[in-house]
Amino acid sequence: MNNARLHRFATAAALGAVVLSPQLAMAAPGEPDVNSLGQIARLIQWGGVLTSLFVIAGAWLAMRFLRDTVGSLSKRFPNRRLLLQKVATFAQFLIYVGTGFAVVGLSFELNESIIALIGGTIAVSIGFAIKDLVASFIAGIMIMLDRPFQVGDRVSFGGQYGDITAIGLRSVRLQTLDDNTVTIPNNKFLNEITSNGNYGALDMQVVMDFHIGVDQDVLLAREVVSEAAVSSRYIYLPKPVVVLVDQCVSDNLVSVRLRLKAYVLDTKYEKAFVTDVNLRVMQAFRRHVIRPPAVLHRSA
């Protein structure tokens, strides 16, 4: 008899719980958890959100001031241009990270509840949406630590050739010699090869090829090429000037190739240096009657 009474009491208690909690009885699977959303809303500090907007605006102004200051100082002190750009890059990185932490700290009450919620449903949903962004962010940190290139370096990557102007948390900006700005996601640099021409130095080696006929005065031609490079106003003389000579086939013609390896004093003068040396060599070849490759007819 006692067991029957206990059974009836348990059944009535269960029915009462259902009646007292209609939200649980009516909630269908797959619908958003209203209690969780309400809890998240309560954890938001709305006054801090307004303050965060001012923090973001201040960070934007600081970034703009930093870029303008570095640009003006680089023009006044060209020898310190690469150093100033490196300092600006690290300063921008710190501003990005500091602003992010400040906004989160001001906008949310960081307790166990918010951490659990973000680490659960919200983190999973956001993770799928920003996985590429997170990969680029991590790659940006690795670029900062490993330093395959620096701001101001002249690099070749993915068919693009130019100067690194900015290293951000998401992407790297490269300005080509045609004055085009190319934006490359950071994670691209983890699996592809990057060629760096100067690696933090202002000077850079430039390679130029000149072809002459096999019956021409090779020693005179070599002297002409070397003199044209040494006398250029863009040459960096503390480093050696080398002219290598070998035979090669060019357009089905056997020719003598004179390969000049010289250093330009600043990467921004690369094309001016190449133009200057080529003009000098062509004028000297014409003056000394040093001819290009041609078909030769032997008499015997």
Q: CA 186 to CA 135: how far, in whole Å?
A: 8
Same-domain pairing of 60 and 104: yes
As a whole number of angstroms, the distance between CA 100 and CA 183 comes to 22
Structural domain boundaries, residue 49: 42-129
CATH code (residue 182): 2.30.30.60
Does one domain contain both 185 and 213? no
Does the CA dihedral 81-55-101-183 come out positive or negative?
negative
pLDDT digits 0-9 by tens, 69-119: 888 887 787 777 777 777 887 788 788 888 888 887 777 776 666 566 656
Both 223 and 251 in a single domain? yes
**Exposure of 40 in the CB half-sphere (CA atoms within 13 A):** 13
Quick check: is 269 in a domain?
Answer: yes
Instruction: Please check whether residue 294 lies inside any domain of the structure.
Output: no
Q: In this model, does residue 130 exceed pLDDT 70?
A: no
Instruction: Tell me which DSSP letter residue 122 carries.
Output: I
Give CB contacts under 8 A, 24+ apart, made by 119-126. 121/33, 121/36, 122/40
CA atoms within 13 A on the CB side of 128: 5
Residue count of the chain, please give it: 300
- The SS3 of residue 33 is coil
Question: Can you say how many angstroms the Cα of residue 49 is from the centroid of all Cα atoms in its chain?
Answer: 31
In a domain, 35, yes or no: no
Residue 172 lies in a domain: yes
User: Helices 218-230 & 270-287, crossing angle to 10 degrees?
Assistant: 140
pTM higher than 0.85:
no
* Model pLDDT, residue 187: 86
- Give the end of a domain, one of 196, 220, 255: 196
78 falls within a domain: yes
Helix pair angle (81-107, 46-76), 10° resolution: 180
In terms of pLDDT, which residue wins out, 15 or 102? 102
In a domain, 80, yes or no: yes
pLDDT per residue over 171-222, tens digit each?
899 999 999 999 999 888 888 888 999 988 899 999 999 999 999 999 999 9
More confident call, 83 vs 229 = 229
Contacts for 265 with CB less than 8 Å, ≥ 6 apart: 202, 203, 234, 235, 236
How many domains are contained in the chain?
3
pLDDT tops 90 at residue 40: no
Same domain, residue pair 211 and 191 = no
Q: Is 95 domain-assigned?
A: yes
Residue 157 in domain: yes
217 and 186 within one domain: no
Query: Among 78, 102, 129, which residue terminates a domain?
Result: 129
CATH classification of the domain holding 275: 3.30.70.100
Domain boundary among 165, 196, 227: 196
